[in-house]
Homo-oligomer: A and B are copies of this chain.
Amino acid sequence: MRLSRYFLPVTKETPADAQIVSHKLMLRAGLIRQTAAGIYAWLPLGLRVLNRIEQIVREEQDKAGAIELLMPTVQSADLWRESGRYDAYGPEMLRFKDRHEREMLYGPTNEEMITILFRDAVKSYRDLPRTLYHIQWKFRDEVRPRFGVMRGREFLMKDAYSFDLDEEGLRRSYEAMFVAYLRTFARMGLQAVPVRAPTGPIGGNLSHEFHVLAETGESAVYYDAALEDVTHEELLSADASTIARLTDLYAMEAEEHEKVTECPVPADRLRTRRGIEVGHIFAFGTKYSASMGMTVQTSDGGNVHPHMGSYGIGVSRLMGAIIEASHDDNGIVWPEAVAPYRVGLINMRADDGNVTSAADDIYGRLQQAGVDTLYDDRDERGGAKFATMDVIGLPWQLIVGPKGLEKGVVELKRRATGEREELSVESALARLTAA
């Protein structure tokens, strides 16, 4: 993409209410613009990152055997009356009436809707187990929306729901999602810790929150150092016993940890870091299948309420969390897997025919090789171009200027380390087109 034809409004100033670094950088880098309190438009560069995050989430859900569908954003209040949650849910639920005075709401989550879709379609044990998911916009009317997309009102969430015949099946479905979550975050270049979550009023059930570790995280977590040693390879080949071991490893939010009288982790293995919650999984059993009258026939002719779990990932929130975990004084440092473009190509002298023709040629070759490239071909000062590239944080910058070309070289800069290297155009292209 040529910057001269793109829509990338980078800015130097950020509003006073942008308190945290990810919020500031998302505004400065032209990723988002607020259109109402806690509601954001995703500008072209931001949308590309959002799509990459979403796609990684999707691929890992698919690999775990979950099936994608798409439920609408607007729901009927009646659905929530059936489960008994309509009155229980607080003012975070955005409620309204349609033109016929029917009570509706903007879905904050989808347990009720998935339960009726499944209930009306599935009658037999042969159709279980199933895990269904969707990636859809949700609305929670936060009393004080803040921190940009980290606590916005309209946000993108992946929510999955599993249906099993019994508790043992539910545990297997839960564990499959547990591992899928660890893989998902690892692929994004994040270190995520599965924190044992309080099980709430239902009690006795299994629940984990996933916290991305970042110095600027919202809360402190305490965890067994063994969680740091889990490799991506191990996750890919994890068998039942490995997964069972992982779900049992100690990790607690500070508040919960302080209540623990005897921590099972020896002091030299206990770590504490700050974290940002980006996922939450929960095995709740027959809560909705019982209240909403969903039964399936078992192989011996009986009837059971399926055991369910739900599994959420904050897709838009993840973008903020990634930036909190990966930035420096000059801007964002995108992990390769979610970067909006891999390469930022800088023409240092758009008013110089030779430089422009060399840069155009490199751009053409990068495109041909399928390397996502943002090409700064504008007639602007070099300093401004460097600042823009640094703040938007593409993994690689390729700088083409008159002095270098005289010597037959271009400059390649790695954003994460700031390392710069002069090398021939051919070597630079070889480097960037390699996997």
A-side interface residues toward B, CB under 8 Å? 5-7, 9, 30, 33, 35-37, 39-44, 46-47, 50, 65, 67-76, 79, 91, 94-99, 102, 104, 106, 113, 116-117, 120-122, 130, 132, 137, 139, 141, 143, 153-154
Contact = CB atoms under 8 A, between A and B. Distances in A.
**This chain: copies in complex:** 2
B74 A106 contact: yes
B132 A99 contact: no
Given A41-B72, A113-B41, A36 B153 contact: no
Contacts of A68: 44, 47
Contact of A6 (B67, B91, B143): B67
Contacts of A154: 72-74
A101 to B, nearest CB: 12
A71 B7 contact: no
B96 A91 contact: no
B67 A104 contact: no
B99 A70 contact: no
B106 A35 contact: no
Contact of A70 (B41, B91, B139, B153): B41
Contacts of A7: 67, 69, 121, 130, 132
A72 B139 CA distance: 11
Given A35-B113, A44-B68, 8 more contacts: A7-B69, A7-B130, A9-B120, A9-B122, A36-B102, A41-B72, A73-B73, A74-B153
A179 B44 CA distance: 23
A392 B99 CA distance: 35
Nearest to A144: B100
A46 to B, nearest CB: 8
Given A41-B113, A91-B99, A98-B94, A71 B35 contact: yes
B35 A76 contact: yes
Contacts of A153: 74, 98
Contacts of A73: 73, 137, 154
B33 A74 contact: no
A99 B143 contact: yes
A422 B98 CA distance: 56
A14 to B, nearest CB: 14
Nearest to A110: B41
Contact of A44 (B40, B67, B98): B67
A429 B47 CA distance: 39
A75 B130 contact: no
A36 B104 contact: yes
Nearest to A107: B35
A349 B23 CA distance: 58
A65 B2 CA distance: 11
Given A39-B74, A47-B70, A99 B33 contact: no
A341 to B, nearest CB: 14
Nearest to A112: B35
Contacts of A65: 5
Given A67-B6, A68-B47, A154-B74, A99 B141 contact: yes
A40 B72 contact: yes
Given A96-B94, A99-B91, A44 B72 contact: no
Contacts of A37: 102
Contacts of A5: 65, 67, 130
A65 B40 CA distance: 24
A69 B94 contact: no
Nearest to A91: B99
Contacts of A69: 7, 41-44, 46-47
Contacts of A143: 99
B33 A120 contact: yes
Shortest 6 CB-CB contacts between residues of A and residues of B? A96-B96, A9-B121, A42-B70, A36-B76, A41-B71, A91-B99
Contacts of A47: 68-70
Interface centre among A71, A72, A94, A113 (most CB of B within 10 A): A72
A404 to B, nearest CB: 27
A117 B76 contact: no
Nearest to A78: B36
Contacts of A116: 35
